Structure 1
Amino acid sequence: MSPLLLPGVYAPQEDTALLAEALAGEPLPVAATVLDVGTGSGALALAAARRGARVTAVDVSWRAVCTARLNAARAGLPLRVRHGSLFTPVRGETFDLVLTNPPYVPAPGGGRLPRGAARAWDAGHDGRLWLDRICREAPALLRPGGVLLLVQSALSDPERTVGRLREAGLKAAVTRRQRIAFGPVVRGRLDWLRHRGLLSAAENEEELVVVRAELPV
């Protein structure tokens, strides 16, 4: 069943599918608690709920919150959906698994915060506006043995993500990779990305990666 999408809500794409594959391969304890940050349509949150997890979904967009609630009702699955930025709505809680498909595309414009639909993909000059915050804050939300699964582009330096998560005490590594054709956002800023050295003139694909990080018991 394809998800309903209100206007301006991020539609599940290749990055969603790659993270869903990682989720499908991740063992979950009985009655696992799962957090999906930047839930969009709720596709990943509902995939976890179908496995019997108790799922909380968070998004900064009210349209996304409404969309995730609608899709949960259509699927007949329990889903706790909260409005807010990243981990703010669940501060003080801990989870067995944290999923996130955050904005990660490098964008011109310095430190200006994106507006409208671009909030789902634009992530500052180096693509790490939200990734660095996730690396800092996610470890505190994991239970011992808990796992973070994060998808991002190679354009936004996955090795930096891995390094920062290791510095925070997690066991972290890139566990999945997939090359995809440039989407409309990247195509629209190819010259800028190449000028910055993030893409070579010969490259005509983008690499997506999943980073898996685990808090030791």
Structure 2
Amino acid sequence: MWLLRLPGVYRPQADTRLLLSALRDARLGHSARALDLCTGTGVAAIAAAREGAGRVTAVDRYLPAVLSARFNARVRGLPVRVLHGDLSAVEGQFDLITANPPYVPCPSLEPAQGAALAWDAGLDGRECLDTLCERAADLLAPNGTMLIVHSALCGVSQTLESLRDKGLKSSVVARALEPFGPVMRERVEYLESSGLIEPGERTEELVVIRADRIER
């Protein structure tokens, strides 16, 4: 799929492909309300619209990403509304939520800026993930589904337990082992010294976690 990607906007790659595969397996209904968080180029929002979602909202903190996603949806004539902001910009509940949040551990405590907004996620990589898990149950409509992709370095069990604590049924629905990308390679020394990877480790497992709000 051709996508406009302004400078600094996150390029769809292995984690994106894994998330899109899980999205197709979710089998959206035609009246579904979908939300795509940390949308980047808008590829997951576009996929949700093509899968039949009736209304799609996409959100990103990085303005060039917002502009890219708006163009990519508009040129295809798809009903995608793209907002500039974070979770605080989102209102209402959704039948499907997709998220490819920042999850790369960062040795700096300085707030991420520019392109790094797509990957810098605090000392342990969970800065955005924890907020997302905290809000998940409120954002999901009854019988709604959330799909989150992140690295296993950030703690798969921690994400699962956090979602379950909010009353959501959660499980890992996809996995893929990938070599480190450029950002991870630059941070090998920090990752090893902090115990997040073993010495010499240069691959990471990506996972998609599915959380369902089951109504009985």
TM-score category of the 2 structures, normalised to the smaller one:
over 0.9
**Superposed, which structure 2 residues align to 1:97-176 within 5 Å?**
97-110=96-109, 112-176=110-174
**d(CA) in 2 for partners of 1:156 and 1:46?**
27
Q: CA deviation at 1:27?
A: 2.0
Q: CA deviation at 1:132?
A: 0.3
**d(CA) in 2 for partners of 1:193 and 1:62?**
29
**d(CA) in 2 for partners of 1:77 and 1:191?**
44
Unpaired runs of at least 5, structure 1: none
Give the residue type in structure 2 aligned to 1:107. Answer: C
Cα deviations by residue, 1:130-169 (Å, 9 ceiling, x for unpaired): 0000010121011111011000001111110100000000
**Superposed, which structure 2 residues align to 1:195-214 within 5 Å?**
195-214=193-212
Q: Does 1:216 align with 2:214?
A: yes
Q: CA deviation at 1:191?
A: 1.3
> What percentage of residue pairs aligned between the two structures are identical?
50
Q: CA deviation at 1:76?
A: 2.1
Cα deviations by residue, 1:114-133 (Å, 9 ceiling, x for unpaired): 11111100100010110000
**d(CA) in 2 for partners of 1:202 and 1:62?**
37
Identify the residue that residue 71 of structure 1 maps to in structure 2. 72
Contact 2:28-2:52 at 8 Å conserved across structures:
no
Unpaired runs of at least 5, structure 2: none
**d(CA) in 1 for partners of 2:89 and 2:77?**
24
The DSSP-based 3-state class of the residue aligned with 2:95 is strand
Q: Does 1:181 align with 2:182?
A: no
TM-score, structure 2 normalization: 0.96
Count matched residues.
214
**d(CA) in 2 for partners of 1:214 and 1:14?**
24
Cα deviations by residue, 1:36-90 (Å, 9 ceiling, x for unpaired): 01101000000010112121101111111110011012222121111111x2222
RMSD: 1.0
The DSSP-based 3-state class of the residue aligned with 1:140 is helix
**d(CA) in 2 for partners of 1:113 and 1:169?**
31
**d(CA) in 1 for partners of 2:97 and 2:15?**
16
TM-score, structure 1 normalization: 0.96
**d(CA) in 1 for partners of 2:65 and 2:200?**
37
